[in-house]
Amino acid sequence: MLHSWTAEKPLRLVAPEVSRGDPDPKALACYGLLRTDAHAILLQFVDGRPVSHVTTAFLAWLCERLAAERKRVLVLVWDNASWHVSREVRAWIRAHNQQVKRQGGVRLLVWRLPVKSPWLNPIEPHWLHGKRAIVEPAHLLTAAEIITRVCEYFRCDHVPHLTQHVA
* 26: amino acid identity, one letter: K
Residue range 80-89: mean pLDDT, rounded: 91
Q: Is the pLDDT of residue 80 over 90?
A: no
The backbone torsions φ and ψ at residue 79, rounded to the nearest 5 degrees and listed phi first, read: -85, -170
Number of domains in the chain: 1
In a domain, 77, yes or no: yes
Would the CA dihedral through 7, 13, 16, 22 be positive or negative?
Answer: positive
Provide the pLDDT for residue 118.
80
Residue range 144-161: mean pLDDT, rounded: 94
**Contact of 29 with 49, CB cutoff 8 Å:** yes
Residue-wise pLDDT for 20-57, tens only, equals 777 777 778 999 999 999 999 999 999 988 899 999 99
CA distance 11 to 62: 39
CA distance 8 to 125: 28
**Contact of 137 with 15, CB cutoff 8 Å:** no
Helix, strand and coil content of the chain, in percent to the nearest 5, comes to: 40, 15, 45
In a domain, 3, yes or no: no
CA distance 113 to 67: 26
Q: Is the pLDDT of residue 108 over 80?
A: yes
In a domain, 59, yes or no: yes
- Between 9 and 76, whose confidence is greater? 76
CA distance 64 to 106: 8
In a domain, 16, yes or no: no
Identify the CATH number of the domain in which residue 50 sits. Answer: 3.30.420.10
For residue 133, give its domain range.
Answer: 29-158
In a domain, 12, yes or no: no
Q: In whole numbers, what is the pLDDT of the chain averaged over residues?
A: 87
pTM summary value = 0.82
In a domain, 5, yes or no: no
* 121: amino acid identity, one letter: N
